[in-house]
Chain A
Protein backbone atom coordinates (compact mmCIF):
# COMPACT_ATOMS: atom_id res chain seq x y z
CA UNK A 1 0.00 0.00 0.00
CA UNK A 2 1.20 3.51 -0.71
CA UNK A 3 2.45 5.63 2.17
CA UNK A 4 -0.19 7.94 3.68
CA UNK A 5 -0.32 11.63 4.17
CA UNK A 6 0.57 11.94 7.85
CA UNK A 7 -1.11 14.82 9.66
CA UNK A 8 0.84 15.59 12.83
CA UNK A 9 -1.75 17.14 15.13
CA UNK A 10 -5.43 16.17 15.31
CA UNK A 11 -7.11 19.37 16.35
CA UNK A 12 -9.08 21.77 14.16
CA UNK A 13 -6.23 22.46 11.71
CA UNK A 14 -5.44 18.75 11.30
CA UNK A 15 -9.09 17.85 10.72
CA UNK A 16 -9.58 20.68 8.23
CA UNK A 17 -6.39 19.67 6.39
CA UNK A 18 -7.67 16.11 6.01
CA UNK A 19 -11.07 17.33 4.80
CA UNK A 20 -9.50 19.76 2.36
CA UNK A 21 -7.13 17.11 0.98
CA UNK A 22 -10.23 15.14 0.05
CA UNK A 23 -11.93 18.25 -1.35
CA UNK A 24 -8.80 18.86 -3.46
CA UNK A 25 -9.06 15.40 -4.95
CA UNK A 26 -6.53 13.42 -2.89
CA UNK A 27 -8.03 9.96 -2.42
CA UNK A 28 -5.08 8.16 -0.80
CA UNK A 29 -4.65 7.16 2.84
CA UNK A 30 -4.51 9.79 5.59
CA UNK A 31 -3.30 9.23 9.14
CA UNK A 32 -3.93 11.84 11.85
CA UNK A 33 -1.86 11.76 15.01
CA UNK A 34 -3.16 13.64 18.05
CA UNK A 35 -1.75 13.99 21.54
CA UNK A 36 -5.12 14.55 23.22
CA UNK A 37 -7.34 11.47 23.64
CA UNK A 38 -10.33 13.40 22.21
CA UNK A 39 -11.53 13.74 18.63
CA UNK A 40 -11.06 17.33 17.34
CA UNK A 41 -13.15 19.93 19.15
CA UNK A 42 -13.86 23.64 19.05
CA UNK A 43 -11.72 25.57 21.54
CA UNK A 44 -13.14 29.14 21.75
CA UNK A 45 -16.05 28.16 24.08
CA UNK A 46 -13.51 26.78 26.59
CA UNK A 47 -12.94 30.28 27.99
CA UNK A 48 -16.58 31.35 27.59
CA UNK A 49 -19.77 29.27 27.24
CA UNK A 50 -18.29 25.99 28.45
CA UNK A 51 -16.40 27.59 31.33
CA UNK A 52 -19.64 29.35 32.29
CA UNK A 53 -21.54 26.06 32.23
CA UNK A 54 -23.87 27.26 29.46
CA UNK A 55 -22.68 24.63 26.98
CA UNK A 56 -21.63 21.05 27.54
CA UNK A 57 -18.15 19.69 26.82
CA UNK A 58 -19.79 17.23 24.43
CA UNK A 59 -21.20 20.10 22.37
CA UNK A 60 -17.66 21.13 21.36
CA UNK A 61 -16.91 18.15 19.10
CA UNK A 62 -16.50 18.96 15.40
CA UNK A 63 -18.55 16.90 12.97
CA UNK A 64 -15.98 15.62 10.46
CA UNK A 65 -17.13 15.61 6.85
CA UNK A 66 -18.23 12.31 5.36
CA UNK A 67 -15.25 12.45 2.99
CA UNK A 68 -12.86 11.72 5.88
CA UNK A 69 -14.77 8.73 7.28
CA UNK A 70 -11.94 6.45 6.07
CA UNK A 71 -8.99 8.27 7.64
CA UNK A 72 -6.98 6.68 10.44
CA UNK A 73 -7.04 8.43 13.82
CA UNK A 74 -4.11 7.76 16.15
CA UNK A 75 -5.10 9.61 19.30
CA UNK A 76 -3.35 9.77 22.65
CA UNK A 77 0.10 9.66 21.07
CA UNK A 78 2.34 12.21 19.42
CA UNK A 79 5.07 12.62 16.87
CA UNK A 80 8.44 13.03 18.61
CA UNK A 81 10.80 13.28 15.62
CA UNK A 82 10.79 13.81 11.86
CA UNK A 83 13.24 12.86 9.14
CA UNK A 84 12.16 14.81 6.05
CA UNK A 85 14.97 13.35 3.90
CA UNK A 86 13.61 9.85 4.52
CA UNK A 87 10.00 11.03 4.62
CA UNK A 88 9.33 9.47 8.00
CA UNK A 89 8.14 10.49 11.44
CA UNK A 90 8.63 8.74 14.76
CA UNK A 91 5.90 8.33 17.37
CA UNK A 92 6.26 8.43 21.15
CA UNK A 93 6.46 4.62 21.41
CA UNK A 94 9.25 4.40 18.82
CA UNK A 95 7.07 3.40 15.89
CA UNK A 96 8.26 4.91 12.60
CA UNK A 97 5.72 5.94 9.96
CA UNK A 98 6.70 6.64 6.36
CA UNK A 99 4.75 9.32 4.58
CA UNK A 100 4.06 10.52 1.05
CA UNK A 101 3.08 13.92 2.44
CA UNK A 102 3.38 15.54 5.85
CA UNK A 103 1.05 18.15 7.34
CA UNK A 104 2.48 20.01 10.33
CA UNK A 105 -0.52 20.80 12.54
CA UNK A 106 0.89 20.50 16.05
CA UNK A 107 -0.31 23.92 17.19
CA UNK A 108 0.67 25.76 20.32
CA UNK A 109 0.77 25.14 24.05
CA UNK A 110 0.32 27.73 26.79
CA UNK A 111 3.43 29.50 27.99
CA UNK A 112 3.88 29.06 31.75
CA UNK A 113 5.30 31.48 34.30
CA UNK A 114 8.61 30.23 35.59
CA UNK A 115 8.69 32.22 38.82
CA UNK A 116 8.95 30.39 42.16
CA UNK A 117 6.01 28.98 44.13
CA UNK A 118 3.53 26.10 44.17
CA UNK A 119 1.95 24.82 40.95
CA UNK A 120 -1.33 23.63 42.46
CA UNK A 121 -4.12 26.16 41.87
CA UNK A 122 -2.49 27.59 38.73
CA UNK A 123 -4.43 27.02 35.53
CA UNK A 124 -4.12 27.50 31.77
CA UNK A 125 -6.91 27.28 29.19
CA UNK A 126 -6.10 25.32 26.05
CA UNK A 127 -7.74 21.90 26.34
CA UNK A 128 -11.04 20.42 27.52
CA UNK A 129 -9.25 19.02 30.55
CA UNK A 130 -7.85 22.47 31.38
CA UNK A 131 -11.32 24.02 31.19
CA UNK A 132 -12.89 21.27 33.31
CA UNK A 133 -10.32 21.84 36.06
CA UNK A 134 -10.68 25.61 35.92
CA UNK A 135 -14.48 25.48 36.00
CA UNK A 136 -14.38 23.33 39.11
CA UNK A 137 -12.04 25.82 40.80
CA UNK A 138 -14.01 28.91 39.74
CA UNK A 139 -17.32 27.56 40.99
CA UNK A 140 -16.08 26.99 44.55
CA UNK A 141 -17.82 29.56 46.76
CA UNK A 142 -15.84 32.68 47.52
CA UNK A 143 -13.08 32.04 45.00
CA UNK A 144 -10.54 34.85 44.72
CA UNK A 145 -9.24 34.80 41.18
CA UNK A 146 -6.09 36.34 39.76
CA UNK A 147 -5.71 36.30 35.99
CA UNK A 148 -2.14 36.88 34.81
CA UNK A 149 -2.14 38.36 31.31
CA UNK A 150 -4.73 40.78 29.85
CA UNK A 151 -4.95 39.33 26.36
CA UNK A 152 -7.88 37.59 24.66
CA UNK A 153 -8.02 34.57 26.95
CA UNK A 154 -7.28 36.53 30.12
CA UNK A 155 -10.04 39.05 29.44
CA UNK A 156 -12.54 36.33 28.49
CA UNK A 157 -11.79 34.22 31.54
CA UNK A 158 -12.00 37.27 33.83
CA UNK A 159 -15.45 38.10 32.43
CA UNK A 160 -16.62 34.51 32.84
CA UNK A 161 -15.28 34.34 36.40
CA UNK A 162 -17.27 37.44 37.38
CA UNK A 163 -20.40 35.94 35.84
CA UNK A 164 -19.81 32.74 37.84
CA UNK A 165 -19.89 34.79 41.03
CA UNK A 166 -16.22 34.75 42.00
CA UNK A 167 -15.60 36.84 45.14
CA UNK A 168 -12.90 38.89 43.47
CA UNK A 169 -11.37 38.88 39.99
CA UNK A 170 -8.13 40.75 39.35
CA UNK A 171 -6.24 40.89 36.07
CA UNK A 172 -2.48 41.57 36.28
CA UNK A 173 -0.41 42.59 33.27
CA UNK A 174 2.88 44.45 32.70
CA UNK A 175 1.28 46.43 29.85
CA UNK A 176 -0.62 49.66 30.69
CA UNK A 177 -3.95 48.52 29.13
CA UNK A 178 -5.75 45.23 28.36
CA UNK A 179 -5.34 43.83 24.81
CA UNK A 180 -3.39 46.96 23.87
CA UNK A 181 -1.02 45.05 21.59
CA UNK A 182 -3.63 43.90 19.07
CA UNK A 183 -6.14 46.76 19.56
CA UNK A 184 -4.19 49.96 20.31
CA UNK A 185 -4.90 52.55 23.03
CA UNK A 186 -8.32 53.78 21.92
CA UNK A 187 -10.17 50.46 22.13
CA UNK A 188 -8.01 49.14 24.96
CA UNK A 189 -9.11 52.08 27.15
CA UNK A 190 -12.77 51.47 26.26
CA UNK A 191 -12.31 47.79 27.06
CA UNK A 192 -10.72 48.56 30.44
CA UNK A 193 -13.62 50.82 31.39
CA UNK A 194 -16.21 48.19 30.44
CA UNK A 195 -14.46 45.47 32.43
CA UNK A 196 -14.12 47.69 35.51
CA UNK A 197 -17.79 48.68 35.33
CA UNK A 198 -18.68 44.98 35.32
CA UNK A 199 -16.62 44.09 38.36
CA UNK A 200 -13.15 43.12 37.11
CA UNK A 201 -10.20 44.76 38.89
CA UNK A 202 -7.00 45.52 36.97
CA UNK A 203 -3.43 45.87 38.19
CA UNK A 204 -1.61 47.12 35.11
CA UNK A 205 2.01 48.00 34.52
CA UNK A 206 3.10 45.32 36.95
CA UNK A 207 4.48 41.84 36.55
CA UNK A 208 4.35 38.72 38.70
CA UNK A 209 7.42 37.80 40.75
CA UNK A 210 6.20 34.59 42.35
CA UNK A 211 3.46 32.65 44.10
CA UNK A 212 2.80 32.13 47.81
CA UNK A 213 1.52 28.97 49.43
CA UNK A 214 2.80 25.60 50.56
CA UNK A 215 1.11 23.01 48.31
CA UNK A 216 -1.63 25.20 46.87
CA UNK A 217 -1.43 28.83 45.73
CA UNK A 218 -2.63 31.30 48.38
CA UNK A 219 -1.27 34.50 46.86
CA UNK A 220 0.38 36.13 43.88
CA UNK A 221 3.53 38.17 44.56
CA UNK A 222 3.70 41.22 42.32
CA UNK A 223 6.80 42.91 40.98
CA UNK A 224 6.80 45.51 43.78
CA UNK A 225 6.50 42.83 46.49
CA UNK A 226 2.78 43.31 47.14
CA UNK A 227 0.93 40.05 47.71
CA UNK A 228 -2.49 39.55 46.14
CA UNK A 229 -4.54 36.86 47.95
CA UNK A 230 -5.60 34.17 45.46
CA UNK A 231 -7.32 30.79 45.46
CA UNK A 232 -7.31 30.43 41.69
CA UNK A 233 -4.63 31.70 39.31
CA UNK A 234 -5.10 31.69 35.54
CA UNK A 235 -1.93 32.06 33.47
CA UNK A 236 -2.78 33.55 30.08
CA UNK A 237 0.63 34.81 29.06
CA UNK A 238 0.90 33.66 25.47
CA UNK A 239 1.85 30.39 23.88
CA UNK A 240 4.75 28.34 22.59
CA UNK A 241 4.83 26.53 19.23
CA UNK A 242 4.96 22.74 19.37
CA UNK A 243 7.85 22.30 16.96
CA UNK A 244 10.48 20.43 19.00
CA UNK A 245 9.76 17.27 16.99
CA UNK A 246 11.02 19.05 13.86
CA UNK A 247 14.37 20.02 15.43
CA UNK A 248 17.60 18.99 13.75
CA UNK A 249 16.38 19.21 10.16
CA UNK A 250 17.67 22.66 9.25
CA UNK A 251 14.17 24.17 9.30
CA UNK A 252 13.51 27.73 10.45
CA UNK A 253 11.62 27.18 13.73
CA UNK A 254 12.34 30.55 15.38
CA UNK A 255 8.60 31.20 15.93
CA UNK A 256 6.53 28.33 14.68
CA UNK A 257 7.34 26.73 11.32
CA UNK A 258 8.37 29.09 8.52
CA UNK A 259 6.48 28.43 5.29
CA UNK A 260 6.49 29.83 1.76
CA UNK A 261 3.51 31.49 0.06
CA UNK A 262 1.87 28.07 -0.41
CA UNK A 263 2.43 27.01 3.21
CA UNK A 264 5.19 24.59 2.19
CA UNK A 265 8.00 23.96 4.65
CA UNK A 266 11.75 23.96 4.04
CA UNK A 267 11.41 24.07 0.25
CA UNK A 268 9.80 20.63 0.31
CA UNK A 269 6.59 20.36 -1.74
CA UNK A 270 5.49 17.30 0.24
CA UNK A 271 5.58 19.10 3.63
CA UNK A 272 3.06 21.82 4.53
CA UNK A 273 2.13 23.58 7.79
CA UNK A 274 -1.36 24.64 8.89
CA UNK A 275 -2.99 26.41 11.83
CA UNK A 276 -1.36 28.64 14.41
CA UNK A 277 1.99 26.83 14.25
CA UNK A 278 2.53 28.05 10.66
CA UNK A 279 4.49 31.27 10.14
CA UNK A 280 3.37 32.31 6.69
CA UNK A 281 3.60 35.40 4.47
CA UNK A 282 0.21 36.95 3.70
CA UNK A 283 0.24 38.31 0.13
CA UNK A 284 -2.65 40.62 1.03
CA UNK A 285 -0.33 42.68 3.22
CA UNK A 286 3.42 43.12 3.45
CA UNK A 287 4.53 39.56 2.81
CA UNK A 288 6.33 39.34 6.18
CA UNK A 289 5.88 35.81 7.58
CA UNK A 290 3.84 35.81 10.80
CA UNK A 291 2.04 33.28 12.93
CA UNK A 292 -1.64 34.13 13.42
CA UNK A 293 -3.54 32.70 16.39
CA UNK A 294 -7.05 33.41 15.15
CA UNK A 295 -9.78 30.81 14.95
CA UNK A 296 -10.23 31.44 11.20
CA UNK A 297 -6.63 30.48 10.38
CA UNK A 298 -6.81 26.66 10.67
CA UNK A 299 -9.58 26.57 8.06
CA UNK A 300 -7.92 29.13 5.77
CA UNK A 301 -4.46 27.55 5.93
CA UNK A 302 -5.84 24.02 5.54
CA UNK A 303 -7.64 24.92 2.36
CA UNK A 304 -4.60 26.48 0.67
CA UNK A 305 -2.03 23.99 2.00
CA UNK A 306 -4.16 20.97 1.08
CA UNK A 307 -4.57 22.23 -2.48
CA UNK A 308 -0.80 22.68 -2.81
CA UNK A 309 -0.05 19.27 -1.29
CA UNK A 310 -2.73 17.44 -3.29
CA UNK A 311 -1.45 19.07 -6.47
CA UNK A 312 2.11 17.94 -5.72
CA UNK A 313 1.03 14.37 -4.87
CA UNK A 314 -0.90 14.33 -8.15
CA UNK A 315 2.15 15.49 -10.08
CA UNK A 316 1.04 19.09 -10.61
CA UNK A 317 2.28 22.53 -9.53
CA UNK A 318 0.87 24.38 -6.54
CA UNK A 319 -0.76 27.02 -8.72
CA UNK A 320 0.11 30.69 -9.05
CA UNK A 321 -2.08 32.35 -6.40
CA UNK A 322 -0.22 32.89 -3.13
CA UNK A 323 -1.98 32.48 0.22
CA UNK A 324 -3.76 35.76 1.03
CA UNK A 325 -6.38 35.25 3.76
CA UNK A 326 -8.48 38.04 5.26
CA UNK A 327 -7.87 37.56 8.99
CA UNK A 328 -10.88 37.77 11.26
CA UNK A 329 -11.33 37.37 15.00
CA UNK A 330 -13.95 37.88 17.63
CA UNK A 331 -13.98 37.84 21.41
CA UNK A 332 -17.04 37.67 23.66
CA UNK A 333 -16.56 39.32 27.05
CA UNK A 334 -19.39 40.03 29.52
CA UNK A 335 -22.32 41.29 27.41
CA UNK A 336 -20.24 42.73 24.57
CA UNK A 337 -18.30 41.45 21.59
CA UNK A 338 -15.13 42.48 19.83
CA UNK A 339 -15.30 41.71 16.11
CA UNK A 340 -12.36 42.26 13.78
CA UNK A 341 -11.79 42.00 10.05
CA UNK A 342 -8.44 42.57 8.36
CA UNK A 343 -5.14 43.30 10.09
CA UNK A 344 -5.62 46.03 12.73
CA UNK A 345 -2.17 45.25 14.11
CA UNK A 346 -0.63 46.67 10.92
CA UNK A 347 -2.44 50.00 11.35
CA UNK A 348 -1.94 50.86 15.03
CA UNK A 349 -0.24 54.15 14.14
CA UNK A 350 -3.38 55.63 12.54
CA UNK A 351 -6.52 54.64 14.43
CA UNK A 352 -9.81 56.43 13.70
CA UNK A 353 -13.37 56.10 14.98
CA UNK A 354 -15.45 55.21 11.92
CA UNK A 355 -18.80 55.08 13.65
CA UNK A 356 -20.31 55.48 17.13
CA UNK A 357 -18.24 56.45 20.16
CA UNK A 358 -16.04 54.51 22.59
CA UNK A 359 -18.60 54.75 25.43
CA UNK A 360 -21.23 52.90 23.40
CA UNK A 361 -21.13 50.77 20.29
CA UNK A 362 -18.04 51.81 18.38
CA UNK A 363 -16.39 50.89 15.10
CA UNK A 364 -12.70 51.68 14.73
CA UNK A 365 -10.56 51.70 11.60
CA UNK A 366 -6.81 50.98 11.43
CA UNK A 367 -4.78 52.54 8.61
CA UNK A 368 -1.37 52.23 6.99
CA UNK A 369 -0.27 55.00 4.64
CA UNK A 370 -3.82 56.37 4.75
CA UNK A 371 -5.24 53.04 3.62
CA UNK A 372 -7.73 51.07 5.73
CA UNK A 373 -6.15 47.71 6.70
CA UNK A 374 -8.46 46.55 9.48
CA UNK A 375 -11.65 47.32 11.40
CA UNK A 376 -12.63 46.35 14.94
CA UNK A 377 -16.09 46.77 16.45
CA UNK A 378 -16.74 46.87 20.18
CA UNK A 379 -20.28 46.58 21.46
CA UNK A 380 -23.42 44.66 20.65
CA UNK A 381 -24.48 42.70 17.60
CA UNK A 382 -25.21 45.89 15.64
CA UNK A 383 -21.58 46.98 16.01
CA UNK A 384 -20.31 43.61 14.84
CA UNK A 385 -22.60 43.82 11.81
CA UNK A 386 -21.27 47.31 11.08
CA UNK A 387 -17.72 45.91 11.04
CA UNK A 388 -18.81 43.20 8.64
CA UNK A 389 -19.93 45.86 6.15
CA UNK A 390 -16.25 46.79 5.71
CA UNK A 391 -15.33 43.25 4.84
CA UNK A 392 -15.81 43.70 1.10
CA UNK A 393 -13.67 46.85 1.10
CA UNK A 394 -10.91 45.06 3.03
CA UNK A 395 -11.07 42.13 0.60
CA UNK A 396 -10.58 44.48 -2.34
CA UNK A 397 -7.22 45.68 -1.04
CA UNK A 398 -4.57 45.14 -3.66
CA UNK A 399 -1.47 43.44 -2.35
CA UNK A 400 1.22 46.09 -1.85
CA UNK A 401 4.00 45.88 -4.38
CA UNK A 402 6.92 46.66 -2.10
Chain B
Protein backbone atom coordinates (compact mmCIF):
# COMPACT_ATOMS: atom_id res chain seq x y z
CA UNK B 1 0.00 0.00 0.00
CA UNK B 2 1.28 3.47 -0.88
CA UNK B 3 0.31 6.51 1.18
CA UNK B 4 0.60 10.06 -0.15
CA UNK B 5 -0.03 13.17 1.96
CA UNK B 6 -0.48 16.48 0.19
CA UNK B 7 1.77 18.55 2.44
CA UNK B 8 0.46 21.75 0.84
CA UNK B 9 -2.96 20.90 2.26
CA UNK B 10 -1.81 19.46 5.61
CA UNK B 11 -2.34 21.85 8.53
CA UNK B 12 -1.02 19.60 11.29
CA UNK B 13 -4.40 18.79 12.85
CA UNK B 14 -2.96 15.42 13.84
CA UNK B 15 -6.20 13.45 13.55
CA UNK B 16 -4.31 10.87 11.45
CA UNK B 17 -1.78 10.41 14.26
CA UNK B 18 -4.58 9.15 16.51
CA UNK B 19 -6.20 7.02 13.83
CA UNK B 20 -3.01 5.34 12.60
CA UNK B 21 -0.12 5.90 15.03
CA UNK B 22 1.97 3.22 13.28
CA UNK B 23 1.95 5.26 10.09
CA UNK B 24 1.64 8.94 11.06
CA UNK B 25 3.55 10.92 13.69
CA UNK B 26 4.76 14.43 14.45
CA UNK B 27 8.48 15.12 14.17
CA UNK B 28 10.38 17.19 16.73
CA UNK B 29 9.48 20.37 14.86
CA UNK B 30 5.77 19.54 15.13
CA UNK B 31 5.40 18.73 11.45
CA UNK B 32 3.72 15.60 10.16
CA UNK B 33 5.91 12.62 9.29
CA UNK B 34 4.59 9.37 7.83
CA UNK B 35 5.50 5.97 6.45
CA UNK B 36 4.82 6.09 2.73
CA UNK B 37 4.73 2.31 2.16
CA UNK B 38 3.08 0.75 5.24
CA UNK B 39 2.26 -2.92 5.48
CA UNK B 40 -1.08 -3.89 3.97
CA UNK B 41 -2.18 -5.16 7.39
CA UNK B 42 -2.52 -1.48 8.39
CA UNK B 43 -5.01 -0.68 5.63
CA UNK B 44 -8.02 -0.24 7.97
CA UNK B 45 -6.06 2.19 10.15
CA UNK B 46 -4.83 4.19 7.17
CA UNK B 47 -8.31 4.37 5.63
CA UNK B 48 -9.59 5.64 8.96
CA UNK B 49 -6.82 8.25 9.00
CA UNK B 50 -7.73 9.38 5.48
CA UNK B 51 -11.39 9.68 6.54
CA UNK B 52 -10.70 11.84 9.58
CA UNK B 53 -8.22 14.26 7.95
CA UNK B 54 -10.02 17.64 8.10
CA UNK B 55 -8.19 18.80 4.98
CA UNK B 56 -8.67 15.46 3.18
CA UNK B 57 -4.97 15.54 2.39
CA UNK B 58 -4.29 11.77 2.68
CA UNK B 59 -4.52 9.58 -0.39
CA UNK B 60 -4.11 5.81 -0.52
CA UNK B 61 -2.69 4.40 -3.73
CA UNK B 62 -2.70 0.62 -4.09
Contact = CB atoms under 8 A, between A and B. Distances in A.
Interface string B28-40: 0010000000000
Q: How large is the interface on A (under 10, 10 to 19, 20 to 34, 35 or more residues)?
A: 20 to 34
A179 B9 CA distance: 27
Contact of A384 (B14, B52, B59, B62): B14
Interface in A379-397: 381-382, 384-385, 388, 391
Given A63-B59, A65-B47, A381 B54 contact: no
**Size bin of chain B's contact surface:** 10 to 19
A385 B18 contact: no
Nearest to A302: B51
B30 A296 contact: no
Given A382-B30, A384-B14, A299 B56 contact: no
Nearest to B51: A299
A296 to B, nearest CB: 7
B45 interface: no
A367 interface: no
A385 B30 contact: yes
A385 B32 CA distance: 12
A330 B56 contact: no
A62 interface: yes
Given A16-B51, A65-B47, A299-B51, A384 B13 contact: yes
Contacts of B47: 23, 65
Interface in B37-62: 47, 51-52, 54-56, 59, 62
A240 to B, nearest CB: 25
Nearest to A16: B51
A380 to B, nearest CB: 10
Given A299-B51, A385-B30, A391 B18 contact: yes
Contacts of A385: 14, 26, 30
A63 B56 contact: yes
Nearest to A392: B18
A388 B56 CA distance: 19
Q: Specify which of B9, B26, B30, B54 lies most central, judged by the most chain A CB atoms within 10 Å of its CB.
A: B54
A62 B13 contact: no
B62 to A, nearest CB: 8
A228 to B, nearest CB: 33
Given A65-B47, A385-B30, A296 B56 contact: no
Given A384-B13, A388-B14, A391-B18, A44 B30 contact: no
Interface of B: 9, 11-15, 17-18, 26, 30, 47, 51-52, 54-56, 59, 62
